[in-house]
């Protein structure tokens, strides 16, 4: 193409694009294209994961168990005592319920009746119940806690997406056997519940350290 023809085309293009109606059209076209790009970006937008809600934990304060059971202990003032009404529940089975945390500590009591075989069965059942979480648990930690009463308590900490992250039992080996398990009523990742689990663990330790068996029970 000759040089003067090329120059003529540029002059023609300049004149066309300078026309008011064409300028308006190009402005609208640009807006549409920008909107389309924005829409495509919006379709591909992936929101950032929400952070876990902050959990404000109250100071640890305790009160004595007043209900009539073969045992007594101190439990959190943030909790309330509820009877275990599930099918198969036995006398003196209770829940220490934490409404603010949607959590409970379930306590199940059994008389040993000076029966070593019966005691061995209850201990074995405690380990079996903890082992039911094997599929989703990736760590177990067993700790034997020496209590001021001279007795010992066995605590099982379970790590993973499991319904019960802490279980425990204690016995005087002749008369009383008490087992407990911490449960949450919410479907929340356990790593986000870690502060609450640690809070409840301290309450469980206080419960065990203040546990007393009632004479004649």
What does pTM read for this prediction? Answer: 0.73
Average confidence (pLDDT) over 103-126:
97
- Would you tell me the crossing angle of helices 20-43 and 3-18 to the nearest 10 degrees? 80
Please write the tens of the pLDDT for every residue from 5-40. 434 433 433 343 444 444 444 444 344 434 444 443
Q: How confident is the model at residue 77 (pLDDT cuts 50, 70, 90)?
A: very high
pLDDT at 104: 97
Rg over CA atoms, the chain? 34
Residue 193, both tokens: 């519940």
Please write the tens of the pLDDT for every residue from 134-150. 777 778 899 999 999 99
pLDDT surpassing 60 at residue 156: yes
* Spatial distance between the Cα atoms of 93 and 82, rounded to a whole number of angstroms: 9
CATH match for 62-213 among 3.90.930, 3.40.1000, 1.10.287, 2.30.110 = 3.40.1000
Alpha helices in the chain (DSSP H): 3-18, 20-43, 116-131, 194-209
CB 211 within 8 A of CB 203: no
CB 200 within 8 A of CB 166: yes
- Closest C-alpha to 105, from 95, 115, 116: 95
**How many Cα atoms occupy the beta-carbon half-sphere of 58 within 13 Å?**
12
Residue 35, class by beta-carbon neighbours within 10 Å (0-12 exposed, 13-18 middle, 19+ buried)? exposed
């Amino acid at each position: 193409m000759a040089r003067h023809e090329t120059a003529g085309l540029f002059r023609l293009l300049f004149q066309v694009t300078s026309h008011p109606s064409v300028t308006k059209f190009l402005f609208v076209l640009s807006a549409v294209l920008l909107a389309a790009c924005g829409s495509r970006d919006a379709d591909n937008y992936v929101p950032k994961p929400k952070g876990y809600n902050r959990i404000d934990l109250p100071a640890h304060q305790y009160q004595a168990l007043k209900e009539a059971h073969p045992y007594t202990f101190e439990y959190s003032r943030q909790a309330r005592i509820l009877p275990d009404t599930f099918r198969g529940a036995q006398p003196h089975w209770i829940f220490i319920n934490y409404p603010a945390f949607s959590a409970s500590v379930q306590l199940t009591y059994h008389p040993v009746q000076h029966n070593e075989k019966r005691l061995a069965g209850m201990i074995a059942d405690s380990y079996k119940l903890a082992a039911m979480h094997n599929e989703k648990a990736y760590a177990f930690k067993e700790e034997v806690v020496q209590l001021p009463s001279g007795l010992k308590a066995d605590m099982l900490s379970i790590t993973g997406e499991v319904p019960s992250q802490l279980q425990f039992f204690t016995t005087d080996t002749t008369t009383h056997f008490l087992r407990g398990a911490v449960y949450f009523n919410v479907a929340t990742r356990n790593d986000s519940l870690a502060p609450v689990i640690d809070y409840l663990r301290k309450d469980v330790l206080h419960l065990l350290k203040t546990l007393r068996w009632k004479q004649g029970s």
